[in-house]
Amino acid sequence: MAAISVRRLRKSYGPLEAVRGIDFEVAAGEVFGLLGPNGAGKTTTVEILEGYRSRDGGEVEVLGFDPGRGERGFKERIGVVLQSSELWASLTVREVHAIFAGYYKEPRDVEETIELVGLGQKRDARVKTLSGGQKRRLDLGVALVGDPELVFLDEPTTGFDPAARRNAWELVRSLRGLGKTVLLTTHYLDEAQQLADRVAVLVAGEIVKLGRPSELTAGAKAEIRYRRDGELVVLETEEPTRALHDLTAAALAEGRELEALEVRRATLEDVYLELVDEQPA
């Protein structure tokens, strides 16, 4: 059974249509990425699934529940990392974890959770003394301490330095190892590519592409570049083998050298930027 299923989901804020009828499913145990630029509707979508926001249309089922009803049984089984939130600054890491653990019927062990998110050295540190990245780990620890099946991560690595981002990735991978279902949002392609089993690219409230990271680039055009009399020539083609063959055959026949010849496969980044550019902002 799907952990999350979303059909024709719509949400408007006044005249602004933030989510325009999207469909997707997330299987149990899957890491699913919602990728998109600022204002695409990622947080809106995630917060509807978490039960914070109402929807204007469509159907949503999360772990068999309608999240909008805010049932306790539902809340026992989800963990939430919000895009931005703070916790009690003068408490310690351990105390904050213990407070949240007490809200659940069957929480994880507090010490073990603190180790899991890599705050073992900081368990007795006050929240206000933590760095930005460590605070994000705290958010994650608090989301995991209830031992949820499904974890929502809204931009878990925004504001991280590259090393901290790698660490966070390891963390998400360890969630997969624990058998959790994860829905994460991100602006970063490499992150989606590294972490997600499947990615939905969300632009202006619509899903413009959905699939495995490797599928997203399949069928994308390749670029052949070379210089002719000092001028850069760029050929875009869906059949790079044939195009290259024609090009080199012609050049050989004329006894010419193709200066600075280069063949580039589209990266996910190219695909993404193309998708984002096609849409009116």
Instruction: Give the residues lining the site for Mg ion (CB under 5 A).
Output: 42-43, 83
The structure tokens listed for 67 are 């999240």
Binding residue for another protein (CB under 8 A) from 8, 13, 57, 88? 88
Q: Between the CA of residue 8 and those of 5, 28, 55, 91, 202, what are the distances in Å?
A: 10, 21, 11, 43, 14
Helix, coil or strand: residue 237 = strand
- 37 phi and psi, to 5 degrees? -75, 175
- As measured in angstroms, the least distance from the Cβ of 281 to Mg ion is 16
Q: Which of residues 15-54 bind another protein (CB under 8 A)?
A: 50-52
Nearer to ligand ATP, 147 or 155 (CB): 155
Indicate the residue among 89 and 249 with the shorter CB distance to another protein: 89
Cα 215 to Cα 55, 190, 194, distances in angstroms: 30, 15, 14
Binding another protein (rule: CB under 8 A), the pick from 59, 86, 111, 236 is 86
Q: Which of positions 145-164 make contact with ligand ATP (CB under 6 A)? A: none
Distance between CA atoms of residues 22 and 6, nearest Å: 7
Choosing among another protein, Mg ion, ligand ATP, none, which partner's interface includes residue 41 (Cβ < 5 to 8 Å by kind)? ligand ATP
Answer yes or no whether residue 102 interacts with another protein by CB under 8 A: yes
- Whichever of 95 and 206 has its CB closer to Mg ion, that residue is 206
Least Å distance between CB 43 and ligand ATP?
A: 3
What residues between 164 and 193 interact with ligand ATP by CB under 6 A? Answer: 187
Q: Which is it for strands 2-13 and 16-27: parallel, antiparallel or unpaired? A: antiparallel
Q: Which of 204, 167, 198 is nearest to 38 (CA)?
A: 204
Which of 78, 130, 140, 207 is the binder for another protein (CB under 8 A)?
A: 78
Tally of helices (H runs) and strands (E runs) in the chain: 10, 12
Beta carbon of residue 185, minimum distance to Mg ion (angstroms, whole number)? 6
117 is written with which tokens? 């998110």
Q: Name the region of 41 (left: φ>0; alpha: ψ -120 to 50; beta: rest).
A: left
61 contact partners, CB below 8 Å, separation of at least 6: 2, 4, 5
From the list 77-85, 192-200, 232-240, 241-249, the region that binds another protein by CB under 8 A is 77-85
Q: With beta carbons less than 8 A apart as the criterion, state whether 4 and 62 touch.
A: yes
Would you give the binding string for ligand ATP spanning residues 16-55, x where CB under 6 A is met? x-x-----------------x-xxxxxxx-----------
* Residue 142 binds another protein, judged by CB under 8 A: yes
**What Rg value do the Cα atoms of the chain yield, rounded?**
23
Chain positions 48 to 87 lying near ligand ATP, rule: CB under 6 A, are: 83
Interface residue list for another protein (CB under 8 A) = 50-52, 72, 75-76, 78, 80, 82, 84-91, 95, 99-100, 102-105, 142, 146
